[in-house]
Each structure stands twice: as structure tokens, then as C-alpha cells.
């Protein structure tokens, strides 16, 4: 058996989808363990562009079982739309290929309404997608959440929705002054969706336990990135789940107690969607060039991604707090042919120079120390240029782990494996 975790090492959008898709070809099981449909993995298959939000990338392979763990917050309506889209693209989906934890928390209409109202009317803009992710996790932690298995019993569903709505009703009526569905309406909607989902609902923890005992190759597919982790990220501008390595054990379970390798997906530059500090952000034409050439627009929201140079202090932190064993450097082609190339190796902060963005540092007050590097002009059809090799070697030296994968385009073929994972 071999187990591998694929985790975003920055603020998400690093290109995890294609790499998960390729590595899942050699896996028996692909597991999603956190987040919700606020994430989007775009995979190019031939002339088809498939965007997955809730369903793991393993669904594209008939030999692979895709698992949605209990740490995911699950929007049944979004799942229905995604399922239809996947099937329309000629991909077979059945209960043997897709398994969803009955203990996954459900995103209700109340969660989505509150999320949208907070972002539009609240005093602090977090940059949320407005899909109800945060409020659903709040329900889970406050022990008032709806579980996916509750959708299969309408009486239980009504009872739990009534308890769930008690406090929310005051907010919806008095603070936000918006319309919202009655308990009966929401119960009817969710119960109907539950019938669609029921064939896929199972005890995923026991399924993973059995897979380990049978020596299956298991791939854990992370969503978002380490810097958006609720504990390790740039709080409060984070998501509401554990996006780091530790989220695997709380959100899915790994009965063996460890994962063999942890691959950090790392864009060759840095991007961020939404609000929050961004030390290397480029406000110049260079930043706009990277944004346009890299197609830096969110797969889930379509929002423009802010762009900047590669930030090594943040990556060093990501390596440490998520036990990364190697990185996959993606979108290297975007930097090819540029007139200038820079990388941030350290920060000036409170009169000192520091090379790792440890917790407690106010990223809005750091000054990035940028190093100029010779630009490269690779077309990736042959050997890598000396300048590109120098860029890769600098990253490896600073992070202390190897670059095991190089990706230079959206197609499945535009990737170079420098290590055999399975």
C-alpha cells in the first residue's frame, strides 16, 4: 500500500486538479476530506473542460473509488448539478465509484443566506464565496448541524431544522431582514435531494479502514491551500476548515496513522483570491500580465486572482506546518519569456530580517526582500534551460525539499514527473 496527500501550499488555486487526476490513474481510492463547493478543480481531458467542486477527481477513472469524507460540508443541490454535468460529459457514476460519508455536514439554505448577508452587510469583508461554507461549519461546531444521513428521514430532518433555525430566525428577521424558507419548505427540498444522494451514502471511515487492510493505493485530495487553513492560515482571511495535512485525520481518517508522502502543489508565482494581506502582490503591469497569461480567474467564482512573485517565507512555513515531503511546481510556463524574474527570499519585519512566515507575524506589515534572477525562455519541448534549472534549484535549497513535479500547461501531457510516486 502507498498513501499520498496532495495539498495546496499557498492560498489555493495552485493547480491541484490536474495533478490529482494524473496520480489517481495509479490509485485505487481518492479521498476528499475538507471544504465544500467553494473549491474548484479544473481538469482538461482532450477537448473537454471538466470543473469539479465536490466530487473527487478520481471519478474520471473507472478503476478508482472516489470518497467524500465526513470533514466535508456538503451542498446537496450543488452536488446534483455537478453530478448531472459529470454524467453529461460521458463519465459513469455509480455507488461503487462514489461513496459519501453519511456524517458529512449539510449546507442548508439558511447557511447560504447568512453567508451572503454577512459578506455584503458585515463590517469586515473576508472574501467568502457566499456558498454557506463558514456558517455550515459553525453549525457543526455548535452541535446543531444537519448531517447527510438526516436527509433520509423526513421526521428527523424537520426536528433538527427546527432546532437549527431557532437562533438564525432572529438574525434573518431582525438583523438582515431577508426572506427565508420555512422549516417545512427546507425539509421538503433537502429530503428530495436526499433521495438522489442516498445510493452514495455510506460509512466511509470503515471503507478506508478496509482499503488500508487490503493494501490499496490511497490518494488524499485537498481543497484550497495551507495559507487558508482555519488554524494555520492568515486569519481571519481564511476558510473554515483544516486544509493542511492534519485535516486528513479529522476529516476522513487514516487508520494506519500516517500518510507516506505529502505533496505540496505550488504555483511558480503567488496568487490570492479575496481579501487579506499579500506581501509580494504586484500592482504593476507585470502583475496584470501574469494574471492574463495565467488565466487567473477562479474556477468557482470567476473572480480575478491577485498576482505576485513567489514568496519563499510563506512556503517555508507551509512546509513546516503541513509536513510537506516534496512540491509540484505548476504554471512554470507563465513565467517563461518575461523580461524580469524575482523571488521573495525574506521579509523585513520589526527591524529584523526573517526568512520564515511563522504564526503571529502581521503579514500586512512585512516588507518583502526581493532577489532578481535571470529570466528563462523555455518552450518545454526539450531539456530545461540553465536559468530555469537555477530557479528550481533555488526553491529546493530554500525549502529543503525537492521539486518532484513540473507542470507547464493545462493539458494532461504538459507535466514532467521528476519522481515516481506509485
Tell me: the pLDDT tens digits for 81-135? Answer: 999 999 998 899 999 999 999 999 999 999 999 999 987 776 666 667 789 999 9
Q: Please indicate if the annotation marks 408 as binding a ligand.
A: yes
The answer to whether residues 398 and 357 touch, using CB atoms and an 8 Å cutoff, is no
Task: Provide the phi-psi class of 224: left if phi over 0, else alpha when psi is between -120 and 50, else beta.
Answer: left
Same structural domain for residues 405 and 386?
yes
Nearest to 41 by CA among 59, 70, 20: 20
**Active-site residue (options: 53, 99, 131, 140):** 140
Same structural domain for residues 156 and 241?
no
Q: What is the per-residue pLDDT for 422? A: 83
Task: Express each pLDDT in 232-280 by its tens digit.
Answer: 999 999 999 999 999 999 999 988 788 999 999 999 999 998 889 999 9
The set of cell numbers assigned to 302 is 470567476
Cα-based distances in Å from 177 to 107, 138, 171: 21, 21, 8
Nearest to 7 by CA among 382, 200, 191, 266: 266
The set of cell numbers assigned to 185 is 419548505
The answer as to whether 259 is a domain residue is no
Q: What is the per-residue pLDDT for 258? A: 87
The answer as to whether 40 is a domain residue is yes
The answer as to whether 260 is a domain residue is no
CATH number assigned to the domain comprising residue 118 = 1.10.300.10
Q: What is the per-residue pLDDT for 261? A: 96
Q: Please indicate if the annotation marks 270 as binding a ligand.
A: no
Same structural domain for residues 223 and 356?
no
Nearest to 284 by CA among 315, 309, 310: 309
Contacts of 266 (CB under 8 A, 6+ apart): 9, 10, 14, 315, 327, 328, 329, 330
- Active-site residue, 168 included: no
Domain that holds residue 70: 3-101+201-251
Confidence of residue 138 (pLDDT cuts 50, 70, 90): very high
Q: What is the per-residue pLDDT for 125? A: 62
Task: Express each pLDDT in 350-405 by its tens digit.
Answer: 999 999 998 878 999 999 999 999 999 999 999 999 999 999 999 999 999 999 99
What span, in angstroms and rounded, lies between the C-alpha atoms of 302 and 394?
33
Q: Please indicate if the annotation marks 342 as binding a ligand.
A: no
The answer as to whether 80 is a domain residue is yes
- Active-site residue, 112 included: no
What span, in angstroms and rounded, lies between the C-alpha atoms of 93 and 381?
36
Q: What is the per-residue pLDDT for 120? A: 76
Same structural domain for residues 290 and 384?
yes
Q: Please indicate if the annotation marks 108 as binding a ligand.
A: no
Same structural domain for residues 296 and 378?
yes
Pick from 196, 213, 229: which residue ends a domain?
Answer: 196
What span, in angstroms and rounded, lies between the C-alpha atoms of 161 and 215?
41
Per the model's pLDDT, the better-predicted residue between 331 and 49 turns out to be 331
**Active-site residue (options: 13, 21, 115, 139):** 13
The answer as to whether 257 is a domain residue is no
Backbone angles phi, psi at 382, to 5 degrees: -140, -145
- Active-site residue, 41 included: yes
The answer as to whether 212 is a domain residue is yes
Pick from 161, 178, 196: which residue ends a domain?
Answer: 196
Number of domains in the chain: 3
Q: Please indicate if the annotation marks 243 as binding a ligand.
A: no
CATH number assigned to the domain comprising residue 28 = 3.40.440.10
The answer as to whether 96 is a domain residue is yes
Q: Which helix (H) or strand (E) holds 242?
A: none
Average pLDDT over residues 142-163: 96
**Active-site residue (options: 21, 28, 41, 378):** 41
Q: Which helix (H) or strand (E) holds 49?
A: strand 48-52
Same structural domain for residues 243 and 151?
no
Same structural domain for residues 224 and 185?
no
Q: What is the per-residue pLDDT for 154? A: 96
Q: What is the per-residue pLDDT for 172? A: 92
CATH number assigned to the domain comprising residue 393 = 3.90.170.10
Same structural domain for residues 280 and 247?
no
Same structural domain for residues 74 and 109?
no
Q: What angle do CA 298, 318, 238 make, to 5 degrees?
A: 45
Place of cell 516534496: 326
Q: Please indicate if the annotation marks 418 as binding a ligand.
A: no
Q: Please indicate if the annotation marks 128 as binding a ligand.
A: no
Same structural domain for residues 230 and 297?
no
Same structural domain for residues 274 and 370?
yes
Same structural domain for residues 154 and 230?
no
Mean of pLDDT over the chain: 92
Confidence of residue 301 (pLDDT cuts 50, 70, 90): low
Q: Please indicate if the annotation marks 18 as binding a ligand.
A: yes
The answer as to whether 229 is a domain residue is yes
The set of cell numbers assigned to 67 is 470518497
Amino acid at each position: 500500500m502507498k498513501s499520498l496527500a496532495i495539498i495546496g501550499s499557498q492560498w489555493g488555486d495552485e493547480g491541484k486538479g490536474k495533478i490529482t487526476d494524473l496520480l489517481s490513474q495509479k490509485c485505487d481510492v481518492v479521498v476528499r476530506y475538507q471544504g465544500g463547493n467553494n473549491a474548484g478543480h479544473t481538469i482538461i481531458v482532450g477537448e473537454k473542460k471538466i470543473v469539479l467542486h465536490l466530487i473527487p477527481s478520481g471519478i474520471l477513472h473507472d478503476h478508482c473509488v472516489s470518497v467524500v469524507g465526513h470533514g466535508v460540508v456538503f451542498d446537496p443541490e450543488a452536488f446534483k448539478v455537478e453530478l448531472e454535468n459529470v454524467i453529461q460529459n460521458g463519465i459513469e457514476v455509480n455507488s461503487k465509484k462514489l461513496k459519501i460519508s453519511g456524517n458529512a455536514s449539510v449546507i442548508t439554505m439558511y447557511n447560504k443566506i447568512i453567508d451572503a448577508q454577512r459578506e455584503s452587510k458585515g463590517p469586515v469583508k473576508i472574501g467568502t464565496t457566499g456558498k454557506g461554507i463558514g456558517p455550515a461549519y459553525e453549525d457543526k461546531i455548535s452541535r446543531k448541524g444537519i448531517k447527510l444521513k438526516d436527509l433520509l428521514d423526513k421526521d428527523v430532518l424537520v426536528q433538527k431544522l427546527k432546532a437549527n433555525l431557532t437562533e438564525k430566525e432572529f438574525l434573518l428577521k431582525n438583523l438582515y431582514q431577508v426572506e427565508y424558507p420555512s422549516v417545512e419548505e427546507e425539509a421538503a427540498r433537502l429530503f428530495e435531494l436526499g433521495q438522489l444522494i442516498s445510493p452514495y451514502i455510506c460509512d466511509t471511515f470503515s471503507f478506508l479502514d478496509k482499503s488500508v487492510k487490503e493494501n490499496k493505493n490511497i490518494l488524499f485530495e485537498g481543497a484550497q491551500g495551507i495559507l487558508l487553513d482555519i488554524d494555520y492560515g492568515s486569519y481571519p482571511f481564511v476558510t473554515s476548515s483544516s486544509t493542511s495535512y492534519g485535516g486528513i485525520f479529522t476529516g476522513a481518517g487514516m487508520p494506519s496513522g500516517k500518510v507516506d508522502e505529502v505533496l505540496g502543489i505550488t504555483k511558480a508565482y503567488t496568487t490570492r483570491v479575496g481579501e487579506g494581506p499579500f506581501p509580494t502582490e504586484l500592482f504593476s503591469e507585470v502583475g496584470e500580465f501574469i494574471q492574463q497569461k495565467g488565466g487567473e480567474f477562479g474556477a468557482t467564482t470567476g473572480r480575478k486572482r491577485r498576482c505576485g512573485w513567489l514568496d519563499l517565507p510563506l512556503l517555508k512555513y507551509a512546509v513546516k506546518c503541513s509536513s510537506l515531503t516534496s512540491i509540484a511546481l505548476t504554471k512554470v510556463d507563465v513565467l517563461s519569456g518575461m523580461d524580469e524574474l524575482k523571488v521573495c527570499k525574506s521579509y523585513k519585519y520589526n527591524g529584523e530580517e526573517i526568512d520564515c512566515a511563522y504564526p503571529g507575524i502581521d503579514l500586512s506589515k512585512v516588507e518583502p526582500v526581493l532577489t532578481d534572477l535571470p529570466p528563462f525562455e523555455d518552450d518545454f519541448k526539450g531539456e530545461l534551460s540553465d536559468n530555469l534549472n537555477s530557479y528550481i534549484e533555488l526553491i529546493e535549497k530554500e525549502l529543503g525539499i525537492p521539486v518532484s513535479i513540473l507542470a507547464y500547461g493545462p493539458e494532461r501531457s504538459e507535466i514532467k514527473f521528476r519522481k515516481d510516486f506509485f
